[in-house]
């Protein structure tokens, strides 16, 4: 039987057919060094004539060497008003490169919350479309969306009339990278990021509310 000895303790771990003392492990957050772990949330309205590929949420890594690692992304979408006609739509999540400037028009600055008071200031720059909704979405930034298309999509079927006796159309994407199962998360270097965009041009009548929550780690090494 092979034996692993602790580097700074007298503990010994048996490897192989070790039935008497199985190993116990405890999952820990991604090590963050001098930076930290953070969460951010945004709520906004999708309005009539919402433009195709209009940007509604974005994050950019501004730091020369720190890495931004998105750990969980949640998008919830609720129809709140009648549409001109029933229509299928989606919120598309893109990897973004050449992201040298975030949007400045129709954009709200979002401030992430560190998950521990001692964590350092984040270098992630977040913007969300104006909460009351803007048909053109956010503009004015310098960003290139992945030409291969979105990496995640949240689809919804909007109805021509919102039901009053039952639930309105609702959709939710709640994605967490399963690193414990070997899945690799996005690792964003300087001038890379994530952008969420409305996919389909909506009609003269439309209305829904979208909620986006994101948690991430900013680290010096990964």
pLDDT in tens, 14-38: 666 656 556 667 778 899 989 999 9
Give the pLDDT of residue 181. Answer: 86
Give the pLDDT of residue 164. Answer: 80
Q: How many CB atoms lie within 10 A of CB 213?
A: 15
Q: Does residue 51 sit within a domain?
A: yes
DSSP state of 139: B
Give the pLDDT of residue 27. Answer: 78
Q: Nearest Cα to 125, choosing from 38, 32, 54?
A: 38
Q: Does residue 170 sit within a domain?
A: yes
Which residues constitute the domain of residue 213?
33-219
In the block, which residue shows the tokens 């129809």? 79
In the block, which residue shows the tokens 């008497």? 20
Give the pLDDT of residue 219. Answer: 97
Q: Does residue 151 sit within a domain?
A: yes
Residue segments in the chain with a per-residue pLDDT below the cut of 50: none
List beta partners, residue 70: 216
Give the pLDDT of residue 13. Answer: 62
Q: Does residue 140 sit within a domain?
A: yes
CA–CA separation, 132 and 198 (whole Å): 15
Q: Does residue 1 sit within a domain?
A: no
Burial of 135 (0-12, 13-18, 19+ CB in 10 A): middle
Question: CA dihedral in degrees (80, 84, 87, 89; nearest 10)?
Answer: -60
Q: Does residue 70 sit within a domain?
A: yes
Give the pLDDT of residue 4. Answer: 58
Q: Does residue 21 sit within a domain?
A: no
Q: How far is CA 20 from the centre of its chain?
A: 43
Tokens read off for 49: 């004539």
SS3 181: helix
Total domains in the fold of the chain: 1
CA–CA separation, 128 and 197 (whole Å): 11
Tokens read off for 30: 């991604």
SS3 129: strand
In the block, which residue shows the tokens 């919402």? 50
- Euclidean distance between the first and final Cα of the chain, in Å? 33
Q: Does residue 66 sit within a domain?
A: yes
In sequence order, what E strands does 139-221 have?
142-145, 152-158, 170-176, 193-198, 207-219
Residues 6+ apart with CB under 8 A from 213: 39, 40, 41, 72, 73, 74
Name the percent of the chain in helix, strand, coil, to the closest 5.
0, 50, 50
């Amino acid at each position: 039987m092979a034996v692993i000895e602790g580097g700074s303790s007298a503990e010994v771990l048996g490897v192989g057919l070790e039935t008497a003392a199985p190993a116990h492990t405890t999952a820990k957050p991604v090590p963050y060094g001098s930076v930290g772990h953070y969460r951010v949330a945004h709520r906004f309205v999708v309005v009539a004539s919402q433009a195709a590929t209009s940007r509604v949420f974005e994050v950019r890594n501004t730091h020369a060497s720190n890495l931004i690692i998105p750990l969980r992304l949640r998008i919830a979408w609720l129809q709140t008003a009648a549409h001109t006609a029933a229509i299928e739509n989606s919120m598309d999540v893109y990897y973004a490169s050449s992201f040298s400037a975030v949007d400045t028009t129709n954009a709200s600055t979002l401030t992430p919350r560190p998950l521990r008071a001692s964590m350092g200031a984040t270098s992630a720059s977040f913007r969300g479309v104006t909460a009351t909704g803007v048909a053109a979405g956010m503009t004015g930034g310098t960003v290139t969306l992945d030409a291969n298309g979105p990496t995640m999509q949240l689809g919804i079927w909007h109805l021509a009339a919102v039901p009053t006796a039952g639930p309105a159309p609702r959709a939710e994407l709640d994605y967490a990278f399963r690193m414990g199962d070997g899945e690799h998360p996005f690792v964003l270097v300087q001038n890379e990021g994530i952008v969420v965009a409305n996919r389909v041009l909506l009609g003269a009548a439309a209305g829904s509310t979208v909620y986006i929550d994101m948690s991430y780690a900013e680290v010096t090494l990964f």
